[in-house]
Amino acid sequence: MDTPQRTFGLRFLSREGIYEKEKPFIADQLPGLPPLYTNHVYEEHQVEIRDLRTEDFKPTLNKSGFVFTKAKIDVSDETFEEDATVYKDYYPQVENVLRKLFPEYQELVFMNYAIRERSPLFPVEIGAVVEDEQPSKEVHVDFSANGLHVFLEGTFRKNEHLRGRPFDQLK
């Protein structure tokens, strides 16, 4: 099947010499440092993007790290205006979908969520204060090898029974 394609500019870490001496890093809001402290140097590359849902590609969690599924989730935009309605109305429906897809998991714990609504200032005015998180143009992973464990410490404090248990991250 022919898939519609688009070319889109994505930013990748450049092949700067600095990374021969130190690992790339980024830190948010550390005391005494600028709001975003990093040694990242980016290069933009044009990448062809295509809709994999129209391909014969069938990803699996074990092989590809993600899956596609179709599910009816009955919420409105207003659901996401308050945390309470996200937890009450949205999460239970998502949990039902995940339980059908992954019956092998005994427990599902939601870490967090983010509303991303593009500001007219994105991506022009770097550092501008905007209400919602903005889309990322950088190719990235959300957590380093240890970053997920560090992030989950907050979850473990609220759910002590999860401490020390093996886990998978479903995204």
- The predicted-structure confidence for 111-120, as pLDDT tens digits, reads as follows 777 777 777 7
Per-residue burial over 38-66, b = 16 or more CB atoms within 10 Å of its CB, e = otherwise: eebeeeeeeeeeeeeeeeeeeeeeeeeee
Please give the Cα distance from 115 to 131 (Å, whole number): 10
Give the span between the Cα atoms of 60 and 67, in whole angstroms: 5
The confidence band for 130, taking pLDDT boundaries of 50, 70 and 90, is confident
- Res 46: pLDDT: 92
142 or 15, which is more confident: 15
d(CA 111, CA 155): 7
Alpha-carbon distance of 99 to 86, in angstroms, equals 18
pLDDT value at 123 more than 60: yes
48-92 pLDDT per residue, tens? 988 877 778 888 888 888 888 889 999 999 998 888 999 999 999
Top pLDDT among 87 and 144 is at 87
Residue 150 sits at the vertex; the CA angle it makes with 163 and 63, to the nearest 5 degrees, is 85
In angstroms, the CA 30 to CA 25 distance is 13
Whole-angstrom Cα distance, residue 35 to residue 27? Answer: 8
Cα separation of 15 and 136, whole Å?
20
SS (H, E, C) 38-91: ECCCEEEEEEEEECHHHCCCCCCHHHHCCCCCCCCCCCCHHHHHCHHHHHHHHH
Strand intervals (E) in 19-132: 26-28, 36-38, 42-50
- Write down the pTM of the prediction: 0.63
